[in-house]
């Protein structure tokens, strides 16, 4: 009896990536800008995708949470062909009602939503940019939560006393 030789091929590991999303909230303009991110293939840095979604700040919690999940899942790995270094090419700035970086940074509060592990089964929502009191807030929530729960969590961290309101 002759047995055929079995050749076992080690499976290629799946690419494991932690997704993220930038959110900018403006009370002055009453809007939320959701900027999906991409990871550059060769250099490994993240950058905002060209198409940002803008929703009304007074939208229902359900709509806010649904928009966050939808844009979080737009995360992509691709080559960044739009690197110019010009502030005017910043996708969130172009989607905003501001004309300058100074105006944008004055009137929009940034938040970041990231997966906690490569499975992205939980969201970590955090304030960014070191507010004057040098305290950043972070909260976690399941990625499988109700959309309204996610929307509520986003607005709670935004409305926290730690986030300085610029007048």
120 Ramachandran zone, left/alpha/beta (phi>0; psi -120 to 50)? left
pLDDT in tens, 19-50: 999 999 999 999 999 999 999 888 888 889 98
Please tell me the pTM assigned to this model: 0.85
pLDDT in tens, 51-68: 999 999 999 999 999 999
User: Looking at residue 77, what is its pLDDT?
Assistant: 86
End-to-end CA distance of the chain: 86
pLDDT in tens, 105-158: 999 999 999 999 889 999 999 988 655 666 788 999 999 999 999 999 999 999
**What sign has the CA pseudo-torsion 164, 22, 60, 97?**
positive
User: Looking at residue 2, what is its pLDDT?
Assistant: 59
From residue 40, alpha-carbon distances to 43, 47, 48, 78 in Å are 6, 7, 10, 5
User: Looking at residue 14, what is its pLDDT?
Assistant: 61
Helices (H) and strands (E) in the chain, counts: 4, 8
Contact 65, 150 (CB under 8 A): yes
Give phi and psi for 55, each to the nearest 5: -125, 160
Q: Is 157 helix (H, G, I), strand (E, B) or coil?
A: helix
User: Looking at residue 165, what is its pLDDT?
Assistant: 55
Residue linked to tokens 């070191």:
130
Domains and CATH numbers, the chain: 20-158 (3.40.1590.10)
């Amino acid at each position: 009896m002759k047995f055929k030789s079995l050749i076992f091929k080690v499976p290629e590991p799946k690419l494991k990536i932690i997704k993220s999303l930038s959110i900018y909230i403006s009370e002055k303009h009453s809007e939320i800008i959701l900027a999906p991110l991409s990871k550059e293939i060769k250099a490994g840095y993240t950058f905002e995708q060209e198409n940002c979604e803008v929703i009304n700040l007074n939208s229902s919690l359900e709509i806010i949470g649904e928009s966050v999940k939808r844009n979080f899942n737009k995360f992509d790995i691709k080559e960044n062909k739009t690197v110019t270094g010009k502030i005017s090419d910043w996708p969130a700035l172009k989607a905003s009602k501001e004309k300058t970086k100074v105006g944008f940074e004055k009137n929009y509060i940034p938040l970041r939503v990231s997966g906690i592990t490569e499975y992205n089964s939980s969201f970590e929502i955090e304030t960014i940019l070191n507010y004057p009191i040098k305290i950043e807030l972070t909260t976690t929530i399941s990625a499988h939560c109700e959309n309204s729960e996610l929307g509520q969590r986003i607005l709670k961290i935004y409305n926290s006393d730690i986030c300085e309101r610029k007048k």
